Amino acid sequence: APLAEAAKLANVAAGLVVQKLGNATVTQAELVAAVQKAGLA
């Protein structure tokens, strides 16, 4: 992915992680849903 798209994706993923407690990971399904909700897909 181009750098700008990669940065947007990383930002969405980071936003999901900080919403969780403790040492968290984001599932592919969560990331896809968040990207679609953000209008990036």
* Structure confidence by residue, pLDDT tens digits, 1-41: 799 999 999 999 999 999 999 999 999 999 999 999 999 87
5, amino acid identity: E
CA distance 39 to 20: 22
pLDDT value at residue 41:
77
Say whether 27 sits in a helix, a strand or coil: coil
pTM of this structure: 0.81
